[in-house]
Amino acid sequence: MNGNQAAALAVKLSRAQVVCAYPITPQTSLVENIAEMWARGNFPGEYVSVESEYSALSYLIGAAYAGARTFTATSSQGLAYMHELLHWASGARLPIVMVNVNRTLGAPWSLEPDQRDSLSQRDTGWIQLYCSDVQEIMDTVIVAFRLAEEVKIPCMVIYDGFSLSHTYEAVQLLRQEQADLFLNPPPKSALIHPSRPQTVQPVTDYRYMARVVQAGHRAMMQVPGRLGEIDRLFAEIFGRKYSLAEETNFGNAETIFVAAGAMAQTVKSFLPLLDGGEEKNGLLRLRLFKPLPEEEIVSILNKPFIKKLVVLDRNLSMGIGGVFAQEIKALLQGTGFRGQIFELNLAGGIDLTLDLLRRGMERINAWQDGEEKIIWGVDL
């Protein structure tokens, strides 16, 4: 099955009660799959069609206030259109789960798997989990429901358009009885109910608002620890082990690549080819991005033998550089890390090939003081 089918099946196995979405390439087949299961009577919850992404998330905010387990999915322009409601969902602490399939934001029109759509929602207070293969998509959707409901923060499950959404590969299916064992029953804590008319989220002053955002931050800081526990439970029930940040370091690697999503597996497969098996290169795969698991990442990167970090960003914050690179730099500030940090920028959705990575590394290895530290994939 492909990534979109895996996500759809995981939503069913999670017994989502309300799904509301609007189709957009490359997410389309995900909602089509759920709609078809629902139309055939094979989906446990309700599927609701609406006329836009804005309405989809609005609908789910209402459903989540009423205590339902909710799911939506989108991509690119669709996620951007949801923007103000993303803040509302996190401010109201509603555990909505969403899939975002990475796709370039226009203009111009494009379908390539650029990460700017999800990363430009970095500050909306949603958890972000990046997946690297189809199996992980299926597993992460069910993990996301448990995590979101435990910490009462909405959660985005993110994967690359086409290179995961449309990629068919062999996966081990989750079984319903395992999923039921892993997930708690849907939250019953309805904030609104017809029998108890009330106003929610009234106008407040800064004092109450300050407490709300501070509480949101503190809940977010609990996420790495809670996810670690959920990962352990997942491994016990399903037998697959995930870590907050995945390290591939065969020994004393001098160069560590940092990447998220499908690109991370691509780089992992290239490591022995890049250095002829000398084990001079390693990889840090970012899985939990929002919030970054600081302790794990610093312990992976802050080693005396690491001389270079090469952060692969298929995104760009114009005027500063790749978003992942900026986050990693901020995290390493004050840790004593002495290596150089380079960016290999693939914004626009550039396909990462072995050849491109080799040419990028030639440039990085020949880098001299004063030269730009962003190596542009488009120029290689």
Partner 1 sequence: MFSEDLVEIRFHGRGGQGAVLAATLAAEVVFRMGYYPQAFPFFGAERRGAPVIAFLRYSSSFIMPRCRIYEPHCVVVFDPELPKEALLEGLKKEEGIILVNAENSHPFWSKGVKGYRLYTVDASRIAAGAGLISSGMPLVSSVMLGALVKVLKIAPFHVLEDCFKGKIPQPEENVHVAGRGFLEVKEVQSSDAIAR
Q: Which residues bind partner 1 (CB under 8 A)?
A: 2, 25, 111, 160, 162-164, 166-170, 262-263, 265-266, 268-270, 351-355
Nearer to partner 1, 25 or 243 (CB): 25
Cβ 135 to partner 1 shortest distance, Å: 10
Nearer to partner 1, 271 or 332 (CB): 271
| Residue-level length of the chain | 380
Nearer to partner 1, 122 or 268 (CB): 268
Amino acid at the residue 311: V
User: What is the layout of strands, in order, in the sheet containing 288-290?
Assistant: 46-49, 18-21, 70-75, 97-102, 155-160, 127-130, 288-290
Q: Which residues contact 279 (CB under 8 A, 6 or more apart)?
A: 250, 251, 252, 253, 272
Choose among 281, 288, 345, 263: nearest CA to 311.
Answer: 345
Cβ 342 to partner 1 shortest distance, Å: 20
CA atoms within 13 A on the CB side of 321: 20
Residue 283's DSSP bridge partners are 248, 257
Q: Are 98 and 129 in contact (CB under 8 A)?
A: no
The CA distance from 118 to 47, in Å, is 24
Q: Are 261 and 131 in contact (CB under 8 A)?
A: yes
Q: Are 312 and 263 in contact (CB under 8 A)?
A: yes
Q: Are 258 and 324 in contact (CB under 8 A)?
A: yes
Collapsed DSSP state (helix, strand, coil) of residue 305:
coil
Nearer to partner 1, 24 or 57 (CB): 24
Cβ 164 to partner 1 shortest distance, Å: 7
Max CA pair span of the chain: 70
The CA distance from 361 to 6, in Å, is 35
Cβ 261 to partner 1 shortest distance, Å: 9
Alpha carbon of 261 to those of 21, 92, 158, 201, 316: distances in Å?
A: 23, 29, 8, 36, 16
Cβ 377 to partner 1 shortest distance, Å: 12
The CA distance from 36 to 34, in Å, is 5
Cβ 276 to partner 1 shortest distance, Å: 17
Nearer to partner 1, 157 or 357 (CB): 357
Nearer to partner 1, 134 or 141 (CB): 134
Cβ 132 to partner 1 shortest distance, Å: 8
Q: What kind and span of H or E run contains 214?
A: helix 206-221
Nearer to partner 1, 176 or 269 (CB): 269
Cβ 263 to partner 1 shortest distance, Å: 7
Nearer to partner 1, 121 or 132 (CB): 132
Choose among 328, 365, 324: nearest CA to 345.
Answer: 324
Cβ 281 to partner 1 shortest distance, Å: 15
Cβ 84 to partner 1 shortest distance, Å: 30
Nearer to partner 1, 74 or 124 (CB): 74
